[in-house]
Amino acid sequence: MSPADVAVVGAGPVGLAIAWRCAQRGLRVVVHDDRPGSGASSVAAGMLSPVAEAYFGEHELTALLVESAARWPGFAAELAGASGVDVGHRTEGTLVVGLTADDLAEAGRLWSYQRGLGLPITPLRPSELRDREPALAPRVRGGAVAPGDHQVDPRRLVAALRTAAKRAGVELRPARVGALSEV
């Protein structure tokens, strides 16, 4: 058995995406994980929400996240083509909800900051929120919509990445990785 060019520890979305891309570039890749896809990706919400999650003082990080989110539609389409698995990429945006007047006041400060960064976030009245999501509590005080935010189904994403990685020649070794000892 020849040695791997790249060893990846962890078969979650990040590890599998790295493995897939490296294999596409002709590298021999081995992914080590004793329980592939069983970590955070099995319970995560799959939010791709750089606007709704932009916070004070994170200008550079927010710019990176916005650029990354803009690439998701192409990535999701390419991955679906390579794997035959639809990753459940959804583009209807994120609703941010304020349940109390204090929630709404704090959120308003944040929305002003986000709009100052040029991010699309639109405040909504309670009735507008319930038009978009009828299951919201009647006591909702207000909120906003971030139309550029997206979502992906992390379980389907991991399945698609595993398939695409295997098809690209990635070897998955279902073994626990321990600490390396110095020689």
Q: Quick check: 63 pLDDT over 60?
A: yes
pTM of the model: 0.85
Domain boundaries, the chain: 1-45+154-183, 47-152
State how far the Cα of 183 lies from the Cα of 180, in Å rounded to an integer: 9
State how far the Cα of 37 lies from the Cα of 177, in Å rounded to an integer: 15
Residue 8: CA count within 13 A, CB half-sphere = 25
**pLDDT, position 179:** 62
What pLDDT digit, counting tens, does each position of 13-23 carry? 999 999 999 99
Mean predicted confidence (pLDDT) in 37-55: 85
Angle between helices 154-167 and 59-83 (to 10 degrees): 60
State how far the Cα of 54 lies from the Cα of 50, in Å rounded to an integer: 6
User: What architecture is the 1-45+154-183 domain classified under in CATH?
Assistant: 3-Layer(bba) Sandwich (3.50)
**pLDDT, position 134:** 93
**pLDDT, position 181:** 47
What pLDDT digit, counting tens, does each position of 95-124 carry? 999 999 999 999 999 999 999 999 999 999
Mean predicted confidence (pLDDT) in 4-14: 93
Long-range (24+ apart) CB contacts under 8 A made by 104-110 are 104/141, 104/142, 104/143, 107/142, 107/143, 107/144, 110/54, 110/55, 110/56
